[in-house]
Every structure is written in structure tokens, then in C-alpha cells.
Chains A and B, each alone.
Chain A
């Protein structure tokens, strides 16, 4: 299938879906409207809501806040995950002691932490960042831990025989291996950073995409909810494309850069 055919077919799916949506929400079939606008809104309203957000410019502030929260959550979560991952992998005794607690916290659905974070950190961005961090941390942590543990015995022996000190082994062997595992889960961890931010906003905030959706829902403005969802999807897709670019750059040495480990 050529690129052009594929693209036009993909576009066709969207057009058909939107036309059907518009049709069933406006024209009665056998005397009954199948998608009542009160519950399902319609594409025209949703689209005009999106246009209004962008033309008046209110959306930018919310986008910026969600983006900033996601970035902070990703950065802090990754940093913590890398440090603890390395520490545990190099100190098996520490890892063994903490193992049940790590499992316990990881098993906890992180959403239930949101109220606690709001209580501790207030309604500002930090409670959302904290929620994102708890999600990102574990993904990065597990991958870095695995990456350090899974270093090939032969490669390690080779490093030693070439005369590497413990510190040089860290820099030339453990570190690149751990990073490669971390980068291969980049899509997941970046995605979770956004999830943390939006869910946090949804549960209590004064700005952000999650806040927009929650506000619209509060006044039964279904068009607003859908508009928020579409903007959020576009936002996530853009971020994901950015991640793909970064990944291609960083994992050139791997046979298949996108095999989605983790």
C-alpha cells in the first residue's frame, strides 16, 4: 500500500465516523434520534468549541500547565527511577530488603494517592506532578534495574579485561545498558507522565486540560468534554511524535529501535 493510499484511507475512517456521528445526532431514524445531543453532542458543536478555545486563546494557558506538569513529572520520576534502579541493581542486599515494599507500592492504584497529594501539596501543579512521578518512577526504575542486571557477562568481562575500573565500567557498560532499557520504555513513561497530570487536574485543580474537561462535565456541557478529549489526544500524539524522534536519535545502535520493551 502506498503512503498516499494509506493516508487517504486513514482520513476516510475519520470522515465516516464524524459524518455518522453528525447524522445520528441530528436526523431521526424511525422517529428516534439515536445519539441525543444532550449526551453525545455533535461534531459541529465540538468543533466550534475547539475553535473558540483557540481563537480566544484560553486553551494555551491550560495546555502549557498540563505540559509543564508532565515535563516535571517525567524529569523527577526518571531521575529518581535511575538513581534507585542503579542503587538496587548494584546492591542486591538493599534490593532484597526493599523488594516487598516496592511491590506493594507498585501494586497500589496510584489514583488513590491523588487526594493525599492534594492534601499535602495543595491544588497547584505540585500535587499533579507528584501523581505523575509515582507513575513514571516505577517504569523507569524497573527498566533501569533490569538494564543494569542484564548486562551481558561477556561484555562485562571484556570491559574488565580491557582494563576498565569500576567507575569506567559504570560509565561505559552499566550506564548505556540501563539507558537503553529506559529509552525503550520512553513512550510508556512519557504517556504516564501525561496521565498523572491530567488525572490529577481532573480530581481537583484550577487549570489544565483535566480541569477543562472536569468543568465542562460539571455543567453537562458534553461538547466541552468531547472538545477537551480531542485537544488532549492531539496533545498526546504530538508529544509521542517528539518521543519517537528522540528515540531514533538515541537508540541508533540498536537493531530495532522500537521493539517496545517494558
Chain B
């Protein structure tokens, strides 16, 4: 990326490594270079175990890179990324709080008065289509509904950057598409910078402005970067029928396929070794 364009979040030669129990060092991600511009929606796609979630955790500040730097709005990141909201793959709602309390907490910890936080939370629940479910506890909601609450919980804080780790992974196919449309709708209102990790190439193309492909791990690298020129606003159901969508999908898949195969081969070898 050119250094002149402003970036919301940038990973510069970021290498991620873990020390294994037996003293060896496992390199998850080799010098990755990735920049997300303000208002840009970037999807990272890669085979399972390629370290895409790891990269996201680095951008969030939850994980320290072994080398390289992370810059957030052109300032080096120290500690947690306070400009970012993080949507987790697993259930991350507080199970002991109702839906509305789960959403309001984001404002309450910033010191907002409770009445005001609850009012705004109700508004956000309505935006994600759960206005009538405010007093339900997470276990009384379906997987898709929980993701909606989680989305509201993140968005109420109005973060400048959204980090999403296969957020719709555990959902069924239809719910994923509905959630994708909801995400695009909410995102188009104030275009945050988004870094969206997924293993689903179709989802990535349908949602993003740019699709970044990672190679199979370990020591995975970024091996491709495509711009998605499909017009917005998009409808996830419709866009999949688009001729351009198919052309792009074929092009990216030809690169990704080899990596997916490599990823499978490696993980099955690893299974045999175990």
C-alpha cells in the first residue's frame, strides 16, 4: 500500500509466532502486510488454520506480533485497540445479562447514565430487528438472534474500526445471508473500516470492497488482493447471480483452491502424526 493514503488499521510486516510447549517456535503468520482504509470493507479469506483469526487478534491488540508493527490511524498500537469493535466467532455475550443490558454495557462502562444507555440500547436492538426481545437472556435467543445482539453490542460504542472473526460461521446458510444483508445495511449508514475474516469466499466477495487471500499455514502469507467492483448497495441474495461476481469468484478460487487443498493435506498429516 502507498504510504500516502490514510489508513484506519495497518499491519506492517507483521509476523506472528508462538512458542510451543517443547521450546520450538511455531510461526503462524509470516510477515504480513495489510492496510485497511477508512470506510473500506476488507475480507480475509484463507483455508482453515491459516492464521486469519490470529491476524485479526493482532489488529485488535489481543495478541502481540513477534515482529513488525500495527498502526491504527497512523499511530502505533500499544495495548488494546481502543478504536476497534470486535465481533467474535464464538458466543461472547454476557450470559447473565439480558439482551438490552448486554447492549447497554458498552455505554455504561464509558460512564453513560443508565437510563440513557438503556434507551440507546433499545434503539440498537430495534435496528437489528430484536426490539421485542430486550428482556430475553442469551440462552433464550437463537444463534442468529445472539449474533444480532452481539452486533448491536459492538456498534453502540460507535467504533471506527470493526473487526469480525467469522462472525456468522456458526449460523445456518439462510441466516448467514440475512445477517450479511443486515451488516451491509448498518455499515452503509456510516461506513466504518471493516476487517472481516471468513473461510467462505462467496460471503467475502458479496460483502467486501477488497478480498485478501492467505496461503495455507503454518507460516502463511498474504498471496492475493482483489478489488471487488460490484456496485453498492448490494443485496447478498441478488449479487450472487451477477455475472461479474462469478468471474471474480472463478478468478480468486483458482488461487485459493490450491491453498485449501494444501491446508487439508497438512491438517490430515497432522492428524496422522497425532
Q: A residues bordering B, Cβ < 8 Å?
A: 152, 154-155, 157-165, 168, 172-173, 176-177, 180, 252-255
Contact = CB atoms under 8 A, between A and B. Distances in A.
Given A168-B109, A253-B96, A161 B139 contact: no
Interface string B79-99: 010101110101111111110
A190 B137 CA distance: 27
B46 interface: no
Interface string B42-60: 0000000000000000001
B65 interface: no
25 contacts: A154-B90, A155-B93, A155-B94, A155-B95, A157-B92, A158-B86, A158-B92, A158-B94, A159-B94, A161-B80, A161-B84, A162-B106, A162-B153, A162-B154, A163-B82, A163-B109, A165-B109, A172-B94, A172-B97, A172-B109, A173-B94, A176-B96, A252-B137, A253-B96, A253-B139
B137 A162 contact: no
B135 to A, nearest CB: 10
Interface of B: 60, 62, 80, 82, 84-86, 88, 90-98, 105-106, 109-110, 137-139, 153-154, 157
A152 B138 CA distance: 15
Given A157-B86, A162-B109, A254 B60 contact: no
Contacts of A177: 96
Contact of A254 (B92, B109, B139): B139
A224 B189 CA distance: 78
Given A157-B88, A158-B92, A255 B139 contact: yes
Main secondary structure of the interface of A (DSSP, over half): helix
A180 B82 contact: no
Contacts of B109: 162-165, 168, 172
A252 B80 CA distance: 33
Contacts of A160: 62, 80
B228 to A, nearest CB: 27
Given A158-B88, A172-B94, A163 B106 contact: yes
A7 to B, nearest CB: 31
Contacts of A155: 91-95
Contacts of A163: 82, 106, 109-110, 157
Given A155-B94, A172-B105, A253-B96, A161 B137 contact: no
Nearest to A155: B92
B97 A253 contact: yes
A176 B95 CA distance: 9
